[in-house]
Amino acid sequence: MKFITLGPSGSNHEFVTRRYLDFHGLRDSATMELTPDFEQGAQALLQDRADFMVQCAVHPATAETVAKCFEGLYVIDSFISPSQDLAILQRSDVRHPQSLAVMPPTLPYIDRSQWRRIELVETVAQVTRGLIDGTYAAGLGYASAAAMHPELLHVAQFVGTVDDAWIVYGRTRLSAGRLTAWRDSPAGRLYRQAA
């Protein structure tokens, strides 16, 4: 069984997909492949080169991916998961960085007015890697990178994480045209308590 999700290695998609596989006890029986974009991931699924695909619901390509239901790609599951903790990381060898590297969807997480220039980067993993290799002096990256590279980076501002909705795709339509939901979910219990 092969799951596919968005790379590069170290991405939130990889992190959350591993958590999903662990949740279902699939770590030993499933493999994971990283794709450079969801169009290629969807094609791998449709061409039987992968079995399932995991995508963050707020990813810019989600609407196009869901539309592939007309080609045989179906939403088969959804779940909520926090991503990796984020922080504004700064290289220790730069005293006063003038620009901040940020993936566009994470820009609302911070006050951008404190930066003279914002550099838009495709993924948080690329921001983090760019901080480590010196491409960027400061950026909104994975907080764990400061602990892994204390000689290079420090946390200028801890941001934390958000709980995102995630979508799992497969080639078998499971809803059969009906609402598919978990009545005894934590939200279902909350609704019953509130009623």
**Phi, psi dihedrals of residue 193, rounded to the nearest 5°:** -65, -40
Residue 46 CA to its chain's centroid (Å)? 22
The whole-number pLDDT of residue 161 equals: 92
For β-strands 163-170 and 138-142, DSSP reports them as unpaired
* DSSP labels, 143-194: THHHHH-TTTEEEEEEEE--EEEEEEEESS--STTS----TTSHHHHHHHHH
Q: Which runs of E-coded beta strand occur in 43-103?
A: 52-56, 74-82, 86-91, 99-102
Return d(Cα 12, Cα 179) in angstroms, integer.
Answer: 29
Count of H helices and E strands in the chain? 6, 10
Return d(Cα 42, Cα 67) in angstroms, integer.
Answer: 11
Domains and CATH numbers, the chain: 2-83+162-194 (3.40.190.10), 86-160 (3.40.190.10)
**Phi, psi dihedrals of residue 84, rounded to the nearest 5°:** -70, 145
Which residues lie below 8 Å from residue 39, measured CB to CB, with a gap of 6+?
Answer: 61, 64
Render each residue's pLDDT in the chain as its tens digit; 195 residues.
999 999 988 889 999 999 999 999 999 999 999 999 999 999 999 999 999 999 999 888 999 999 998 999 999 999 999 999 999 999 999 999 999 999 998 999 999 998 999 999 988 999 999 999 999 999 999 999 999 999 999 999 999 998 999 999 999 999 888 999 888 999 999 999 998
The whole-number pLDDT of residue 123 equals: 86
Radius of gyration of the chain (CA): 19
The whole-number pLDDT of residue 81 equals: 97
